Amino acid sequence: MPEISSQLSNPNLDIHIKLWRIDETAEFFQIFPDSWSMPPIQKQIQANKYLESVAARYCLWELMKSLGLESLELQQDYRQRPYLNHPLWHISISHSYPFAVACISKKPMTGIDIEKKDRNVKKIAPRFLNPTELANWQADSLKLTLAWSAKESIYKAWKKPGLSFQQEIALNFIDEQFYGQVNSAEPFPIAFEQFDEFVITLVNH
């Protein structure tokens, strides 16, 4: 299926996003360089995650080609998180079946996440929300999903191992705008959009 247009993509601000609905097999997506390849998955229970992962890499590769960045290498840090060997371009990928998404930006704090609404989020909310957030949003499943996704995006953008979702990342909705804050530093905006039964959040600053 062709890509889905994301409202969060803004080439004028060097925010490039490709969103894809997965209707194809893994072989369709595996056109990226061999150095990006992943080890084969033997267990069927892991097959869908493998498909999502190669689809996200496909999205990233298509973005790189559109920006003339094919010569850059996709590398992984010691936590197996992907990054580009370039001082100016930063990436983030995410997937939640049947969708995959990738983002490339020149802003160093870049993180994107996609989540399905009501994905047991009420049960796990006390684990990732602080008491104020939980009290404000525990009855609103959409805001709970957005909060979970936003904290995932922030964690990716900060690249700090062990960053606590509950104690170090704070969120706030002000006049329908979404803001994040890490360790009481200056708040920053969080962009988001909804489609089908999913939400996407983007941290980019």
pLDDT by residue, tens only, the chain of 205 residues? 578 999 999 999 999 999 999 999 999 999 999 888 776 655 565 788 899 999 999 999 999 999 999 999 898 888 888 899 899 999 999 999 999 999 999 999 999 999 999 768 999 999 999 999 999 999 999 999 999 999 999 999 999 999 999 999 999 999 889 999 999 899 999 999 998 899 999 999 8
Euclidean distance between CA atoms 118 and 107, whole angstroms: 31
Other CB atoms within 10 Å distance of the CB of residue 109:
18
Write down the residue that tokens 């080890």 correspond to. Answer: 39
pLDDT at 167: 96
DSSP-assigned beta bridge partners for residue 189: 179
| pLDDT number for residue 3 | 82
User: Which contiguous run of DSSP H or E holds residue 15?
Assistant: strand 15-21
pLDDT value at residue 42: 56
Residue 127 CA to residue 96 CA, distance in Å, equals: 21
Look at the pTM and tell me if it is higher than 0.75: yes
Helix (H, G, I), strand (E, B) or coil at 166: coil
In whole angstroms, how far apart are CA 70 and each of 75, 77, 151? 13, 20, 30
Residue keyed to tokens 């606590």? 164
Helix (H, G, I), strand (E, B) or coil at 70: coil
